[in-house]
């Protein structure tokens, strides 16, 4: 029996950057793991916030950081920079929503250690509606036989998927 496709936080992240990346990632075509940006992101994730619980895996939700502050659960997403603030915010809202569906209340924070920023992320009804719509759009993209056509956008230059689009 084939397992039903599940949207995950990474696909939510890519959706706001490039729909082609959504298709590539969902079809197990991973970006260049030796890419400088991916390596730098891994290093930041690994060495930042050493006292916190990291990599909580809840199926289609892989939370970067978990901590308790004043008796409240905080789930966090660690990012290299604030350049992709919309995608990072939506990704964290998706995690908050999935955790809420499990009956757990949590607060969300984006952590950007290189910029010394901590940004609170709130999940409201408007965000849930948008994420529901985005889940459907992601399923539509993933269900296509071919990826969406490559098109130059401002994020192409540092993209670890560049070889898939421009080689």
DSSP string, 13-62: HHHTT-HHHHHHHHTT----TT-HHHHHHHHHHHHSSTTSEEEEE-SS-E
- Domains in the chain with CATH codes: 9-166 (3.90.320.10)
**Which tens digit of pLDDT belongs to each residue from 107-148?**
999 999 889 999 999 999 999 999 999 999 999 999 999 999
E runs forming strands in 48-151: 53-57, 62-69, 72-78, 107-112, 117-121
- The pLDDT score that the predictor gives to residue 119 is 96
Nearest to 22 by CA among 163, 147, 157, 156: 147
12's enclosing H/E stretch is helix 9-15
Is 50 exceeded by the pLDDT of residue 1? no
**Which tens digit of pLDDT belongs to each residue from 27-60?**
988 776 666 666 666 665 565 655 666 677 788 8
- Cα(139)–Cα(5) distance, integer angstroms: 8
Nearest to 95 by CA among 76, 79, 80: 76
Residue 144 CA neighbour count, 13 Å, CB half: 14
- Residue 114 neighbours by CB under 8 Å, 6+ apart: 44, 80, 81
């Amino acid at each position: 029996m084939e397992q039903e496709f599940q949207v995950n936080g990474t696909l939510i992240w890519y959706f706001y950057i490039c729909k082609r990346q959504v298709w590539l990632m969902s079809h197990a075509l991973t970006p260049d793991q030796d890419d400088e940006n991916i390596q730098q992101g891994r290093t930041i994730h690994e060495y930042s916030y050493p006292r916190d619980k990291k990599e909580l895996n809840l199926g289609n939700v892989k939370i970067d950081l978990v901590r308790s502050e004043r008796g409240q659960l905080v789930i966090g997403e660690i990012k290299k920079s604030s350049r992709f603030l919309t995608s990072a915010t939506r990704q964290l809202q998706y995690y908050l929503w999935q955790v809420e569906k499990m009956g757990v209340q949590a607060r969300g924070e984006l952590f950007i250690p290189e910029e010394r920023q901590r940004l609170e992320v709130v999940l409201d009804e408007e965000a849930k509606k948008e994420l529901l719509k985005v889940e459907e759009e992601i399923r539509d993209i993933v269900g296509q036989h071919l990826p969406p056509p490559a098109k130059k956008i401002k994020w192409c230059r540092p993209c670890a998927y560049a070889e898939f689009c421009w080689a």
